[in-house]
Amino acid sequence: QLQLQESGPGLVKASETLSLTCTVTGGSISSNDYFWAWIRQPPGKGLEWTGSIYYSGSAYYNPSLKSRVIISLDTSKNQFSLKLSSVTAADTAVYYCVRQSYFYYYMDVWGKGTTVTVSS
């Protein structure tokens, strides 16, 4: 059974870089059937797509974050990562790593989520 687990600092200072890693177990991130995505949810608010990456390394980002976000793959460790630079309080959120269908775009496996707070 495929499982995803987020890891990384729960507290990041404003203007610094948020870095999270998602470890995938029970399946390979090298599958050509899926994207690997990050979704975030600010406190009390809705879901926001951050970006998705394909096993080839092609990545797609939310334009509202595009200049600050990088998603990468480490196939040797079966992990993918999120880096978000120049963070502000608005980046405080629960961050979920997700498996996303490459052909149909739905998100069928979610990590439990990790809370990241940006402090001033």
Partner 1 sequence: QSALTQPASVSGSPGQSITISCTGTSSDVGTYDYVSWYQQHPGKAPKLMIYDVINRPSGLSNRFSGSKSGNTASLTISGLQAEDEADYYCSSYTSSSTLVVFGGGTKLTVL
**Minimum CB–partner distance for residue 62 and partner 1 (Å):** 6
Q: Which is nearer to partner 1, 16 or 48 (CB)?
A: 48
At residue 90, the 3 state secondary structure works out as helix
x-or-dash string of contact with partner 1, 21-60, rule CB under 8 A: ------------------x------xxxx--x-------x
Among 30, 112, 117, 119, contact with partner 1 (rule: CB under 8 A) = 112
Per rule CB under 8 A, is residue 70 in the interface with partner 1?
A: no
Q: Which of 50, 120, 40 is nearest to 88 (CA)?
A: 120
Q: Which residue has the tokens 């963070």?
A: 87
d(CA 16, CA 73): 22
- Rg value, the chain, Cα: 13
Here the tokens at position 56 are 């080839």
The footprint of partner 1 (CB under 8 A) covers 39, 46-49, 52, 60, 62-63, 96, 100-101, 104-108, 110-113
